[in-house]
Structure formats: structure tokens, C-alpha cells
Structure 1
Amino acid sequence: MKKTLSTLAKVRDIDVLVIHSLDLCLYQASVVIGDKEFMVTDDIGNLVRAHSLLEIQKQCQNINANTQIMRQESAYDEMVGGPSKGKGNRLEVQISDNKLY
């Protein structure tokens, strides 16, 4: 499911802004509201993406979330033939927006 930046700027009960670290320098945003997670898009439906953490935080600066986290999921353990990790290899770190942009 998706929600636009302009819609999310009006919402006051956003639990978490999730910054997904997809690759070396590629980030994407989603939000958690209640028990549902929504991908963040611009007004024409394109996913919000950036090439730096500061750039994606600047794009999402009007989202009033209680918490911000960075999430990274890696498949590298499976690539070396290790045992299955069950739920995956997810790392989540709480971050803050220092408004350095």
C-alpha cells in the first residue's frame, strides 16, 4: 500500500518513519501507522528515493513520525550457504533527523 508525502504531512498518528537502506547509496521510505506499513510516494505515485540519508530525510521532513529507524535487510548469509535464519537478516537502528540539510 502507498501514501503520498502530501497526505502524510496531514497525518498526526504516524508511529514510525522507516528509511530502507537498499544498496550502497540508495534509500527508500515507508511509514508505519497502527499495524500497517505504507510505502511513501510523491504526488504522482513515484516511490520516494534518494542517494543519501540526508536527502531522504529532507524529502520526508514534513512527516511527523514518533520514531525514525533505518532498516537494512541482507541476503549475504544465504549466499555463503549458511543455515536459514528463519525471519531473515534484518537490522533496524533508531535514528534522528538532525536537520543537517
Structure 2
Amino acid sequence: MQLKELKRTQHFDKVKLHSLESNLYQLSVVVDGKEDYVMDGKGRFMTSHNKLELQSLFKEKQVDAMVLCHQSAYDEMVGQPPSMAGNTLEVPLGNTDLA
């Protein structure tokens, strides 16, 4: 989904802020059950070092759920292979009006 399309969309099933590394977040949205990563005007994945900046894109919009997604490093830390079922943690985020 392009950023300009995101700005025109009024309802989101879920907004996901993916924590990639130390203070770097990537944005994806779920609309009508379909997840898309948000791309900027230059065709690059939308990222920011400030999660509040990404959250602020959704002021005045209807968002059913907003979560922070984090890949757990637990399996790697204890010497286990990556889990086939995935190990993504989704932490609910608060009110977008605070962004």
C-alpha cells in the first residue's frame, strides 16, 4: 500500500508497527483481512526511528487494533532452531490520539 492510499483510507482492521532493531520500526496495515506493508512515495518500505511518528499517521482514523510486533530471540538464545510456527509477539498499543 502506498502512503498516499493510506492517507485516503479511513478504517483499518489492524495497524502493525514491526520492531526491526534498536528503535527502528516498519509499518504494515490490515484492511479487509489483507495485510500490506506501507511504502513511501519513493517505493521504499515506510520506516521510522520514532514509533509515535508512525502512530500519528492514524489520528482521525478508525483503527480496530494497533500492535507492536516483535520477533522473539528466545529460540536463538537457547540454541534452538527457529520455530516453524513463528514466534512473533504482538503487544497492544494505546490510544493513537496520544501520538
TM-score range, shorter chain: 0.7 to 0.9
Q: Deviations over 1:61-84 (max 9, x none)?
A: 358322211110124413532376
Aligned to 2:5: 7
Q: Deviations over 1:23-50 (max 9, x none)?
A: 1111010001122110011222121111
Aligned to 1:95: 93
Q: Which has the higher strand share?
A: 1
**3-state SS of 2:13 partner:** strand
Say if 1:46 and 1:18 are closer, same or farther in 2 by CA, change over 3 A.
same
Q: Deviations over 1:4-31 (max 9, x none)?
A: 1221122233201100011111101000
Identity in percent: 36
User: Gaps spanning 5+ residues in structure 1: where?
Assistant: none
Matched letter for residue 30 of structure 2: V
User: Gaps spanning 5+ residues in structure 2: where?
Assistant: none
- Alignment: residue pair count: 97
Write the distance in 1 (CA, Å) between the matches of 2:45 and 2:60.
15
User: Over aligned residue pairs, what C-alpha RMSD do you find?
Assistant: 2.2
Provide TM-score, normalisation by structure 1.
Answer: 0.77
Q: Which has the higher helix share?
A: 2
